[in-house]
Amino acid sequence: MAWRLCHMTCAGLASWTSALGGGSRDDGFAVTFPPTARGAVDLLDDWYGKWRRSVGALSDADLWRPLRGSAFDVGANHLRLGPDDPFVNYLLHQQRELIHHGAEISLLRDLFRAQPAHQP
């Protein structure tokens, strides 16, 4: 669970938000990941709020601009996106990533709780 929370927070939300703000995606990897589950969830919540505000500030023109030359151009190839694909396609991929890893965390929590040692 910790790896998935860190991946969603640092490699995902912090990196994407940094790039949307004009910084480098690498800035997200400089985020210090907390040693506790509560701290990890709080950090995820904080970066999710920043991500939503950043995405909410995008104009229609921003959503439809090509990836070419943007901070999101790098790595788009492995998503099977080309340089002329619109940014909204990249954004949709990132939303799928959040759903995907969030579902994995939910499954792991369910499996953990189903263990006999954790039954009420």
**Residue 11 to residue 36: CA distance in whole angstroms:** 18
**Residue 28 to residue 20: CA distance in whole angstroms:** 12
Average pLDDT of the chain?
86
SS3 66: strand
18-32, 57-71, 104-118: the lowest-pLDDT one: 18-32
What digits encode the pLDDT tens for the residues 13-61?
A: 888 888 888 777 777 778 888 888 889 999 999 999 999 999 999 999 9
| Phi (first) and psi of residue 85, to 5 degrees | -70, 150
Contact (CB, 8 A) for 46 and 58: no
Q: Which amino acid is at 59?
A: S
Query: Model-level pTM?
Result: 0.80
